[in-house]
Structure 1
Amino acid sequence: MDVGTQLPVRTLPTRAVVTGHTGFIGGHLAARLANNGVDVVGFSKSTGGDLLHDEIPMDGVGHVFHLAALSYVPDSWNDPAAFHLVNTHGTTRVLEKCRRAGVSMTFVSTFVYAADAPMPVSEAALPAPANPYAFSKLAAEDACRFYARTFDMDITILRLFNTYGPGQSGPFLVPTIARQAVDPAVSEISAANLAPRRDFVHVDDVVDALVASARLPGGGAYNVGSGTSHSVGDVIAACLNAAGTAKPVRDRGEVRPNEVMDIVADISALTAATGWQPRIGFEAGIRSVIDSLV
């Protein structure tokens, strides 16, 4: 795609499905859509929705944002088949519902590029997933491309880099570090490895990109990141600074299988297509996480 060409846009639908609407990103997206007057139909495992067996309500729906997935990379090494089943076959079932209803779709993917891809990495780089989670997402992307090509469907793929922000929980890096920074009972910050660098993009910027994607005619895959990278050590320093405290840092020296040591997104394609730009800087974003915990 010519990154200098802005694509035509559609208006937001009056009714939209958000799969994974109770998750971290899905919750922020559902709230934003509702604030914009969109009637949100939620579908999530936590509210009884099963991607592999249940039907998604599609009456009056104008667009589907498909975020529901198994997503924690370390867990994907323990059960690659489960990740493939939910993330690939589950996505194919959503695509089929969209095909039958004549509805456009945004599919949320991830970093699917090679560990040694030159940075910043653009969408033109050849895919080479470094873990089972990314493999399952790339297979789901292939399903999206097949449906778009074969059935003339409007499907947009967003490849999210490391999303963070208020409300993120579980074992992900930023909330793990942030909780240690604000907890007075924690005497030191412990991290598996201080060296890896990631492109951290704030959840509000990701939601901006998702909303923008619903206005596209479909057919493209776009990176969603900040365009810069920060190390685990940078995250710790920013969390401690935002929390106004000082704690010693322990590097456990652990290395994950096929660890990618530096990731930076080339975000020019989505900017050119929609005018989207990340608005929230790294330090301000980390501060928003710390503020949500105190």
Structure 2
Amino acid sequence: MSADDFRGQRVVVTGAGGFLGKRLVARLHGLGCEVVELGRASGFDLLNDEMPLSGIDHVFHLAAETGVPASWEDPARFHLVNAHGTVRVLDQCRRAGCSVTYVGAYIYGIPQSLPISEEHPLDPNNPYAFSKWMGEQACEWFAGTYALPVTAVRLFNVYGPGQSDRFLVSSLVAQALDPAVASIKLMDISPRRDYLYVDDAIDALLSSRSPGGYRLYNVGSGVSHSVGEVVEVVLAAAGSSKPVIDANEPRRNEIPDVRADCTRIFTDCGWSPRYTLAAGVGEMVREALH
């Protein structure tokens, strides 16, 4: 499949008002799709409402409770929305006969080896990851039991314009551009992550629709960068020379390095990332300044 296969189709996006959802909806409109946008902003309740699926070709299921710190405070809520909510979406799609793309999460914990393939042992080591894993398991079960075409995508660290400042790259861009911020303060500059620009993530979602059965893909850049390296890229893009203060206080259960092996989605779908970290951050800075 490719993005062009969606041209003119009728598509539902849950979580349409979120960071990734807004970007996906815009891309789908650009392909001439009729898009039904479902989310909190439109009054849609994932746990109680039925999706309007008459004549719908495909559902992108992005709606979820997010945030690792928040998940520790209310793991039952995260499980209810992310696992049971996903079961409700899958069951409605089963009855309506439309295919599904499920947006999953990083669920590998501390890697035993790098890069991380889909066969790497799983370690959903926080309530958020556990709830997303349960949703993913539901996808595989519905695909196998009901022959529902489902693609599950394990996104690595997605970043881009419009993302909340709760996330690292957005926070750094905001600090670099804010004249009231004298220095960039960080807890620990050593952890490495696989940062994926949002438009690359959207390309992956559009290119990976299953023609039948269950498909599972890692989606990342295939390159890891330390927090310190990200700061350098952000400051360069912003034309800033603000000092960086490292408190050298590692987080509990910190993961030292993450890097995705995206061989499977490249082989099956021809997808590979187009943006380097510098290019993606450059786009964020340009949008922030305009």
Whether these two folds match at TM > 0.5 is yes
Q: Can you give the 5+ residue segments of structure 1 that lack an aligned partner in the other structure?
A: 1-6
Structure 1 counterpart SS, 2:102: strand
Superimposed CA distance per residue, residues 218-256 of structure 1 (whole angstroms, 9 cap, x where no aligned partner): 411100000000111111111110010111112233333
The Cα of 1:125 is off from its aligned counterpart by 1.1
Given candidates 55, 59, 81, the residue that maps to 1:64 is 59
Distance 2:235 2:5 in 1: 42
**Is contact 2:149-2:210 (8 Å) kept?**
no
Given candidates 79, 82, 98, the residue that maps to 2:77 is 82
The Cα of 1:11 is off from its aligned counterpart by 2.9
Equivalent residue letter for 2:272: Q
Question: Does residue 1:36 correspond to 2:57, yes or no?
Answer: no
Query: Which shifted more, 237-246 or 247-256?
Result: 247-256
Q: In the alignment, what sits opposite 2:260?
A: 265
RMSD: 1.7
Distance 1:52 1:259 in 2: 33
Distance 1:42 1:262 in 2: 36
Structure 1 counterpart SS, 2:214: coil
Equivalent residue letter for 2:80: L
Tell me the matched-pair count.
Answer: 288
Structure 1's 257 and 97: CA in aligned 2 closer, same or farther, altered over 3 A?
farther
The Cα of 1:10 is off from its aligned counterpart by 9.3
Given candidates 28, 31, 46, the residue that maps to 1:51 is 46
Distance 2:87 2:249 in 1: 36
The Cα of 1:79 is off from its aligned counterpart by 1.5
Q: In the alignment, what sits opposite 1:254?
A: 249
Q: In the alignment, what sits opposite 2:5?
A: 11
Given candidates 98, 104, 112, the residue that maps to 2:93 is 98
The Cα of 1:177 is off from its aligned counterpart by 0.8
Equivalent residue letter for 1:213: S
Superimposed CA distance per residue, residues 140-172 of structure 1 (whole angstroms, 9 cap, x where no aligned partner): 111111111111110010000000011112401
**Is contact 1:8-1:217 (8 Å) kept?**
no
Structure 1's 251 and 78: CA in aligned 2 closer, same or farther, altered over 3 A?
farther
**Is contact 1:155-1:219 (8 Å) kept?**
yes
Superimposed CA distance per residue, residues 189-219 of structure 1 (whole angstroms, 9 cap, x where no aligned partner): 0122111110000000000001112364341
Q: In the alignment, what sits opposite 1:4?
A: none
Q: Can you give the 5+ residue segments of structure 2 that lack an aligned partner in the other structure?
A: none
* Larger RCO, structures 1/2 (Cα 8 Å, 6+ apart): 1
Identity of aligned residues (%): 48
Give matches, 1:197-208, under 5 Å.
197-208=192-203
**Is contact 1:30-1:40 (8 Å) kept?**
yes
TM-score (norm 2): 0.95
Distance 1:281 1:216 in 2: 30
Q: In the alignment, what sits opposite 2:109?
A: 114
**Is contact 2:105-2:129 (8 Å) kept?**
yes
Equivalent residue letter for 1:150: T
Question: Does residue 1:192 correspond to 2:187, yes or no?
Answer: yes
Distance 1:256 1:46 in 2: 33
Distance 2:134 2:149 in 1: 18
Structure 2 counterpart SS, 1:18: strand
Q: In the alignment, what sits opposite 1:175?
A: 170
Q: In the alignment, what sits opposite 1:220?
A: 215
Distance 2:26 2:118 in 1: 29
The Cα of 1:81 is off from its aligned counterpart by 1.4
Given candidates 274, 286, 290, the residue that maps to 2:269 is 274
**Is contact 1:9-1:217 (8 Å) kept?**
no
The Cα of 1:57 is off from its aligned counterpart by 1.0
Distance 2:209 2:274 in 1: 19
Structure 2 counterpart SS, 1:46: helix
The Cα of 1:101 is off from its aligned counterpart by 0.4
Q: In the alignment, what sits opposite 1:288?
A: 283
Structure 1 counterpart SS, 2:66: coil
Distance 2:275 2:172 in 1: 19
Q: In the alignment, what sits opposite 2:226?
A: 231
Equivalent residue letter for 1:11: D
Q: In the alignment, what sits opposite 2:153?
A: 158
Given candidates 123, 127, 131, the residue that maps to 2:118 is 123
Structure 1's 246 and 8: CA in aligned 2 closer, same or farther, altered over 3 A?
closer
The Cα of 1:19 is off from its aligned counterpart by 0.5
